[in-house]
Amino acid sequence: MASLRSKSGCWTCREKKVRCGEERPQCHRCVRLGRFCDYTPRPRKPYTRRQRHARRPPPARDPEEGEKDEDQDEDERGPAHLEIEFPGLSSVDQQAVHCFRTTVSASIDTKDPEFSVPFVICRLGQTSPMLMHMICALGHQEIFYQCTEDSSGGPSSHAVEHYGASMRLLAQTLNLPSSDAPDLDAILATLWLMVLYEQKFGDGCALGLMTHLQGAASVLQSRLGNLRRLLEANFSDPEEKWHFSPFAGRMIVWLAFLDGGAAFVKLGGDFNRALGSAMVDLAENAIASRLRGFTAIHRYSASLFRSVWGPSYPQQQLLEDLENRNLFYLYGECGQMRFVLSQLENELLPPSSSSSSPSSIPLSPLVSGITTTSTEPRLDPLAVARTLHEISLRYSEIFEFASHLRLDLAHAGERRKFIMNIRFVVPLYHATVLWYFRITAHDKPFKFKERQRESFREIINLAYQAHADEGEKAMARIAWPLFIAGIEGDDPVHEEWVLKRFWHLRQHGENFSRAFRALSFIQEAQRAAGRRVPLPGCFDEGTLERFAI
C-alpha cells in the first residue's frame, strides 16, 4: 500500500499498485504499455490523514519541520488544480478530457500537466461550452486515432459531434457585437484547438485549417484593434492597459507559430499578416519591426502562470519558467522567420499559372470580412539573411552549448525539461537557415556552404540525442526541422534515418503520413534530377498533398 499512497508516482501506476519510475511528463511504464500517464493531483479522501495519525505514532523528527514539509507540498501543487471538475460531462467525455489533459498536453507542452497551458484551457472550459466541446473533440479523436488500426476511414463520431457543436457556438459568438462577446480568452483558445485538430487530423484539402487560421486573423483585426497603439506606446504595459490577458497573448504566440507552419505549404499566413500590419515601422525595417512587436506580446504573455495561480504558483515551476524564458522567445522568433521565409519563397518562386491555389477556395462566412492584403514591402533576401544572423548572435550561448547537454547523466535532474526544450527549439532555428539557402538556391545543384553544413549537422545531432533519450515521441516536436534536413541532406545514411523517423511519426496524425509520402517523393526525385526539386511546384501540380507539421 505504500506505493499506492506515494505522492510522486503517476496515478496509472499507483492504482495498479506497481512501482512508478516517476518520469515526467510520462513515466516509462506508461509509455511502454501505451497507457495514459496521469500525474494530475487528486484531493485526499476525508479524514484519511487523521485516521492514519491515530493508528501510527508520528515519525521521529521535529514537529515544526513536518508541518513545514506538508505546507510546502500543498504549495508546490497549488490549490487551484483541485477546483477543476466537469460534473456535467458523460463518462465517455470525461475520458476525452482526461486524454486531452495528459496525452495531448504532453505532446504540446513540457510543463507539468497540472501547471500547463492545456490545464488553463480546461479551467476556461468549465465556463465555456464552446471551448469544452473542442477539448472533448480533440480528446476523442486522439483516443480514436491511437486505438484504431485503420483510422483512415474517418474521424470519431464523438469528435465530429463535439467539433460541430463548437463550430456552431463559435459562429454565434463571432457574430455578436464586441461589447456583448464572451471572454476573448475562450475565443482564441477555441480557435487554437481547432487549428491544432486540423493540423493533426485534417484532410488533404486543408479547408478547415485555412478557415480557422483566417478566422483567427479576423478576430485579431476586429477585437484587437488597439494592438498597434499598445505596441507603439509601451512594451511593458500591464494587463489593464493592454486590454487583453497574458493568456490571450500566449494564444496569439501559439496561433502565429501554427500559422507560420501552414504558410510553409501555402495553407496559412493570414494571421501573421494581420500581426504584421500592427507592427509596421516599429523598427528600422519590416522584419525587425515584426520581431520587435511579436517579442513584446510574447514577453507580456510570460506572466500567464503567475496571473492564473497567484502566490500559490510553485517556486519550482517559476524557476523552470525563468530558465526556459529566453529559449521560448527564440521559439517565437523562429516561428516568425518561418512565415517571413514563406513570403520570400512566394516572391522568388511564384506559383504556376495553372495551379489551383488553396487561397482560391471559398471561405466560410465566419471569415468573410477579413482583409488579407499585406502592407509589408517586398522582402530583400539579404535583409532576411542579416536577421537570421542577428538571431544567432542574440541567442549565441544557447546555440553554443545545445548539442553538448546530456539527459542520460545523473546530474541532469531538474534541468531535464530545459534540455528537452533546447532539443525542440534550437533545430527550428537551424531549419530556417537551411530553408533560406534552399529558397535562394532553388535552381542550383546541391553544394553545401559551411553555414548550411553546420545547421544540418546540428539538426541531426540534436535529433539523434532526443531519439536516443526519449524515443519516437520526441520526433513529433521537431518534425519540421527533420523534414527540412531530410530534403536538404546529401548523405544517404542520414536521409534514410530521417525517412524512418517519419515512417514512425505516421501514428501521430494524417498530416505526418502526408509528410512521410512527400519526403520519400522529394528525396527520390532529387536523387534522379541531381538538384533541388521545389516543393511548391509539387503542391501546385497536385503531385503531393499539402500538410502542416
CA distance 374 to 191: 22
The SS3 call for residue 434 is helix
> How far is Cα 534 from Cα 525, in angstroms, rounded to an integer?
10
The one-digit pLDDT tens for each residue of the chain (549 residues) are: 344 445 678 877 887 778 888 887 677 777 666 566 777 665 554 444 444 444 444 444 444 444 444 444 444 444 444 446 666 788 899 999 999 998 888 888 888 888 999 999 999 998 899 999 999 999 999 888 877 655 555 677 899 999 999 999 999 888 877 655 567 899 999 999 999 999 888 776 778 889 999 999 988 888 776 666 666 665 444 444 556 789 999 999 999 999 999 999 888 889 999 888 878 777 778 898 899 889 989 998 999 998 889 889 999 999 999 999 999 999 999 999 999 999 999 888 766 544 445 544 444 444 444 444 455 678 889 999 999 999 999 999 999 999 888 877 545 566 888 999 999 999 999 999 999 999 988 666 666 778 888 999 999 999 999 999 888 889 999 999 999 999 998 788 999 999 999 999 988 878 898 999 999 999 999 888 888 888 888 888 888 888 888
Question: d(Cα 190, Cα 166) in Å, to the nearest integer?
Answer: 8
Query: CA 257, CA 239: separation in Å to the nearest integer?
Result: 23
Right CATH number for 1-39 from 2.60.40.420, 3.50.50.100, 4.10.240.10, 3.30.310.50?
4.10.240.10
The pTM score is 0.79
Q: Which amino acid is at 284?
A: E
DSSP 533: -
482 and 428 Cβ atoms separated by less than 8 Å: no
* Count of C-beta atoms within a 10 Å radius of residue 237: 14
C-alpha span between 161 and 486 (Å, rounded): 38
Grid cell for residue 194: 481547432
Q: What is the 3-state secondary structure (H, E, C) of 476-514?
A: HCCHHHHHHHHHHCCCHHHHHHHHHHHHHHHHHCHHHHH
The Cα–Cα gap between 54 and 355 comes to: 77
Q: On the CB side of 300, how many CA atoms lie within 13 Å of its CA?
A: 29
**Nearest of 494, 503, 510, 514 to residue 472 by alpha carbon:** 503
Q: Which residue has the cell 521537431?
A: 478
The residue type found at 252 is I
- Residue 427, preceding bond cis, omega within 30 degrees? no
Nearest Cα neighbor of 299 from 250, 258, 337 is 250
Rounded to an integer, what distance in angstroms lies between the CA atom of residue 290 and that of residue 278? 9
pLDDT given at position 324: 93
Crossing angle of helices 286-301 and 315-348, in 10° steps, is: 160
- Distance between CA atoms of 15 and 24, rounded to whole angstroms? 17
Task: Match 488500426 to its residue by C-alpha cell.
Answer: 149
As a whole number of angstroms, the distance between CA 326 and CA 160 comes to 39
Half-sphere exposure of 545 (CA within 13 A, CB side): 17
Per-position b or e across 502-517, b if 16+ CB within 10 A of its CB = bebbeebbbbbbbbbe
Distances in whole angstroms, Cα of residue 266 to Cα of each of 146, 357, 364, 487, 510: 29, 8, 18, 18, 18
pLDDT at 166: 95
Any residues with CB less than 8 A from the CB of 4 and at least 6 apart, and which?
Answer: 14, 15, 17
Closest by CA position to 206, among listed 518, 510, 520, 534: 510
d(CA 357, CA 114): 42
Residue whose C-alpha is closest to residue 209's, from 264, 154, 277:
264
Q: Bin 385: left if φ > 0, else alpha if -120 < ψ < 50, else beta.
A: alpha
